[in-house]
Amino acid sequence: GEQMRAVSLQYVPTAILSRQTAGICNGALIINLPGKPKSIRECLDAVFPAVPYCIDLIGGSFMEADETVIKIFRPKAK
């Protein structure tokens, strides 16, 4: 939620009042997004790089991404 609010604050001062958050329910990753398509895009651009790793952590299927479209974050294996 903090990252989405920080990005939204660059565009609208009332973003601090938003209910943007993310969590896990019954093994599913839930991301609460704003209502406007432009705002949804801004927020997803900010948080999506971490989504595949979040899915890994909750035991979901391995997600791959086209690195020319979006760079994803996964910690290096130890």
How much is the pLDDT for 31? 94
Nearest by Cα to 77 from 63, 47, 56 = 56
Amino acid at 44: L
Q: Which is more confident, 55 or 71?
A: 55
How much is the pLDDT for 24? 94
Beta carbons of 63 and 51 less than 8 angstroms apart: yes
Model pLDDT for residues 31-69, shown as the tens digit of each residue = 999 888 999 999 999 999 999 999 999 999 888 888 888
